[in-house]
Structure 1
Amino acid sequence: MLWPDRPIDWRAARLTERGLGVGLWNWPDHDLDRLEAVRADYTIMNGYLEGRLADDEGAAMLLASARETAQVGKRLGVRRLNLHGTGLGEGGIPIRQCEVVTGEMWLKARDTLHRICDLAEEEGVVFTLENLNLMDHPGCPFGSTADVLALVSSVDRPGLRINLDLYHTQIGEGDLLRWCERCLPWIGEIQVADNPGRFEPGTGEINYPGVAQALARMGYRGPVGMEAFAQGDSDAAVDAFVAAFTL
């Protein structure tokens, strides 16, 4: 999302020079040899390429894809492998949209996530489940902050954490600080972007310096990642992110 005209290894090196970690999306899009050569701190990447939580066929696809991705994650030293309620296609639109989530689907999703945790224990990795707003990702099951919290807290195993994306929470629910408090015991990472536009902190309606101070008061000491486009210059966007979360 930053320096889109530059190759991925240049971007990873640029963030590493600044003492920051690097988040990746789908690994087949990249030259793994070049990424490995940078020796960056790869903090998070998509933990699957296909699949779904709530049906047998989708769960089998998800687990096979997650196992393959875990090997890539370990090669690059990725800290967290990210999941969603269902696979996403072009523009983040769910490949198979779902308008009604049944009780049977909830039970199947929880079972699938327990199997993901078994895989995490076998491979020595950690998965996260990310919340997504329904305006940008219509028909995505288990996308709300409440749904992600319900699933992760009910599984309650160390191999599965919440990737709490506050951009999506702002659009879907608002009330960011209280959602941070509720999710706190299970948060593996917090991601941020301002709204509207999904640009860097300071470009929209969210008081991210205030969020940073509140997180510190709560005792949160985990990672914060900027999953945002640069409104203008990418270096300036990174500066704004660092400033917002430097106390």
Structure 2
Amino acid sequence: MSQPFPLAVCAEMVWLDKPIDWRVARLTERGLGVGLWNYPDHDVAKLEKLGANYTIMNGYLEGRLADDEGADMLVTSARETAQVGKRLGVDRLNLHGTGLGEGGIPIWQQDIVDGSMWLKARDTLNRICDMAEEEDVVFTLENLNLMDHPGCPFGSTADVLTLVSSVNRPQLRINLDLYHTQIGEGDLVRWCEKCLPWIGEIQVADNPGRCEPGTGEIHYGGIARALKDMGYRGAIGMEAWAKGDSDAAIDAFVRAFTL
């Protein structure tokens, strides 16, 4: 048995009764990478000293892809966040079609996306790539399901694949969140195959409930074998709540991706 993929866990979603530095240290002790959300919620200097492998972090604090004002805000915010990412050695800085507010609800909701918005979004992502090349960082664009994130533009797996593949630059990858794909589209293995050339990270949680593998309908053991067979060797991150004990949830995640 082996682990063909580097594994990571979102520290924001486990051991909720413990401080974030304790969680990061515990994940590091277990040999796992660490995912983070918004850096202003934490003491960056303290996190910097822990020697963790930070695999992904939210790559902006404000902005959106498809209008002039939002694009300028996004590029400025992403550049500022890149400095923090470099301090922590974060592998990937994550983007969405628009900023997310309380409970993950999009701040700027847009149910209809027209052709001019697509062109603007692609232009904005190219600007992000220009900046990322200067800063020597990598961004990802994440898919989001519209049940949990109503009105989020460019949220579907298909939309994210279209944008990232059309930009087609190494500074921009896909953060393929299979929890969101399951709710939005299903057919997870074939979406992995379609996105494979542009995947920077795969994130997982079971559905319903957004808890660890084995608590819902998704057969993650089968997905792990399919990913290995198609040649994927990149990071897999558990962005999931623990249904019960956090250590048991992480054990279940590790088992699902040990082949």
TM-score where L is the length of structure 2: 0.95
1:167 to 159, 163, 179: 179
Q: CA deviation at 1:244?
A: 0.2
User: How far apart, in 2, do the equivalents of 1:56 and 1:40 lie?
Assistant: 37
The match for 1:138 is 150
**Which structure 1 residue ranges, 4+ long, deviate > 2 Å from structure 2?**
none
User: How far apart, in 1, do the equivalents of 2:49 and 2:129 lie?
Assistant: 30
The match for 1:238 is 250
Q: CA deviation at 1:203?
A: 0.2
Q: CA deviation at 1:96?
A: 1.1
The match for 2:24 is 12
Alpha-carbon displacement from aligned partner over 1:72-98 (angstroms, at most 9, x marks no partner): 000000000000000000000000111
Counting only pairs closer than 5 Å after superposition, residues 177-192 of structure 1 correspond to structure 2 as 177-192=189-204
Aligned length, in residue pairs: 247
User: How far apart, in 2, do the equivalents of 1:33 and 1:70 lie?
Assistant: 15
The match for 1:3 is 15
User: How far apart, in 2, do the equivalents of 1:96 and 1:148 lie?
Assistant: 17
User: How far apart, in 2, do the equivalents of 1:90 and 1:214 lie?
Assistant: 35
The match for 1:194 is 206
The match for 2:215 is 203
2:130 to 118, 121, 124: 118
**Larger RCO, structure (CA 8 Å, separation 6 or more):** 2
The match for 1:212 is 224
Counting only pairs closer than 5 Å after superposition, residues 15-34 of structure 1 correspond to structure 2 as 15-34=27-46
3-state SS of the aligned residue for 2:26?
Answer: helix
User: How far apart, in 1, do the equivalents of 2:198 and 2:28 lie?
Assistant: 27
Percent identity at matched positions? 83
1:58 to 53, 67, 70: 70
The match for 1:93 is 105
3-state SS of the aligned residue for 1:65?
Answer: helix
3-state SS of the aligned residue for 2:190?
Answer: helix
User: How far apart, in 2, do the equivalents of 1:44 and 1:173 lie?
Assistant: 24
Alpha-carbon displacement from aligned partner over 1:170-200 (angstroms, at most 9, x marks no partner): 0000000000000000000000000000000
Residue 176 of structure 1 pairs with residue 188 of structure 2: yes
Q: CA deviation at 1:5?
A: 1.0
Look up the equivalent residue of 1:41 and give its one-letter code.
N
Alpha-carbon displacement from aligned partner over 1:125-173 (angstroms, at most 9, x marks no partner): 0000000000000000000000000000000000000000000000000
Q: CA deviation at 1:36?
A: 0.9
2:168 to 136, 144, 156: 156
Alpha-carbon displacement from aligned partner over 1:8-48 (angstroms, at most 9, x marks no partner): 11000000000000000000000011111111000000000
TM-score where L is the length of structure 1: 1.00
The match for 2:159 is 147
Look up the equivalent residue of 1:71 and give its one-letter code.
Q
Instruction: State the superposition RMSD in angstroms.
Output: 0.3
Look up the equivalent residue of 1:218 and give its one-letter code.
M
1:103 to 93, 115, 126: 115
Question: Gapped runs of 5+ residues in structure 2?
Answer: 1-12
